[in-house]
Structure 1
Amino acid sequence: MTFEELKPKVTDILHHDNTLRDEKLLQLCHLLKDNIDYYDWVGFYFRNGDKEELLLGPYAGEPTDHTVIPFGKGICGQVAVSNENFVVPDVTAQDNYIACSITVKSEVVVPLFVDGKNIGQIDIDSNVLDAFSELDERFLEFVNEQVAKLF
C-alpha cells in the first residue's frame, strides 16, 4: 500500500471518538507495520513528564527491553534532544546506537510536536539496509501531525 493510500486510513483510525488514545496509537502501529513491507517494528516513545527520558508507548513488532531511554542515548534519545528527524541507513555505522534486535539494519525516528514542544516520537526499525527515504520522512511527519491532534 502506498503512503497516499495509507493517509486516509491513518486519519480514520485517529478520529474514532470511542477509542482510547493508546488503542488508536496501537492500531496505527499495526497499520504501518502490516502495510509497509520494510517497516518491521513501529512504535512511539513519549517524554516522561519533566524527566529527560523517553518511555515506550504503543508499538507493533518484537518485544523490546528498551522501555526507558535517557535523552541523548541511542537514536531516539538523540532525536529527543535535536528535535530533528534522524534517518540511519546502517545502524552498525552508528556509535550511539541501542540495538533492539540483531536483525535491525536501518532506522528512522521522527519527533512528535504538540504546540511546538517535542513530546515524543515515532520510531521505525527495518531489517533492510538503507530502507528509508525522504518519502518515509514526509509520510511519518504527516502521521505525527495527525497524532498530535490527540493531545
Structure 2
Amino acid sequence: MLFEDLKPKVVDILKNESNSVTDRLHQICQLLNKTITYYDWVGFYFKNGDKEELKLRTYVGEETDHTIIPFGKGICGQVAVSNENFVVPDVQAQDNYIACSFTVKSEIVIPLFKNGENIGQIDIDSETPDPFTEKDERFLEFVNQEVAKILE
C-alpha cells in the first residue's frame, strides 16, 4: 500500500476520540506494522517527564527490554538530543546502537514535535537491510504531525 493511501487511515484512527490516546497510538503501530512489509517493529517513545530519558508508550512487534532509553544512548537517545531524523541502513555499522534483536538490520527514528519541542519519536526496526527511503521519512513526519495534534 502506498504511503498516500495510508495517510487518511492514520487521520481516521487519530480522530476517533472514543479511544484513549495510547490506544490510538497503538492502532497506528498496528496499521504500519501490518501494512508496510519491512516495518517489523513500530513504537512510540516519549520524554519521561522532566527526566533526560525516553519512555516506551506503546509498540507492535517483538518484545523489548528497552522501555527506558537515556538521552544520547542508542539511535532513539541520539534523536532525543539532535532533534533530527535518523535513518540507519545497517545497524551493525553504528557504534552507539542498542541491539533489540539480532534479526534487526536497519532502523528509522523520526522526532515528534509539539509546539516546537521534541517530546517523543516514532521508532521503526526492520529485518530488511537498508529499506528506508526519503518517502518513509516524509510519511513518518506526517504521522508525527498528526499525532502531535491529539497530545496534550
Shorter-normalised TM range: over 0.9
- Give the equivalent residue in structure 1 for 2:66: 66
Correspondences of 1:21-36 after superposition (within 5 Å): 21-36=21-36
Question: Residue 6 of structure 1: SS of its match in structure 2?
Answer: helix
- Give the equivalent residue in structure 1 for 2:50: 50
Q: Distance in 2 between matches of 1:29 and 1:18?
A: 18
Q: Distance in 2 between matches of 1:57 and 1:51?
A: 15
Q: Distance in 1 between matches of 2:6 and 2:100?
A: 26
- Give the equivalent residue in structure 2 for 1:4: 4
Q: Distance in 1 between matches of 2:120 and 2:145?
A: 12
Q: Distance in 1 between matches of 2:4 and 2:35?
A: 12
Q: Distance in 1 between matches of 2:17 and 2:110?
A: 26
Deviations 1:67-113 (A, max 9, x none): 00000000000000000000000000000000010000000000000
Q: Distance in 1 between matches of 2:131 and 2:123?
A: 13
- Give the equivalent residue in structure 2 for 1:15: 15
C-alpha deviation, 1:17, in angstroms: 1.6
Question: Residue 102 of structure 1: SS of its match in structure 2?
Answer: coil
TM-score by length of 1: 0.99
Deviations 1:38-92 (A, max 9, x none): 0000000000011100001110001100000000000000000000000000000
C-alpha deviation, 1:126, in angstroms: 0.3
> RMSD of the TM alignment (CA)?
0.4
**Equivalent position amino acid for 2:145 in 1:** E
- Give the equivalent residue in structure 2 for 1:127: 127
C-alpha deviation, 1:141, in angstroms: 0.1
**Runs of 4+ that moved beyond 3 A:** none
Once the two structures are aligned, what percentage of the paired residues are identical?
A: 71
Question: Residue 56 of structure 2: SS of its match in structure 1?
Answer: strand
Count of residue pairs brought into register by the alignment? 151
Question: Residue 103 of structure 1: SS of its match in structure 2?
Answer: coil
Question: Residue 142 of structure 2: SS of its match in structure 1?
Answer: helix
Q: Distance in 2 between matches of 1:16 and 1:59?
A: 19
Could you list the runs of 5+ residues in structure 2 that have no partner in the other structure? none
- Give the equivalent residue in structure 2 for 1:75: 75
Q: Distance in 1 between matches of 2:150 and 2:103?
A: 33
Q: Distance in 1 between matches of 2:67 and 2:39?
A: 19
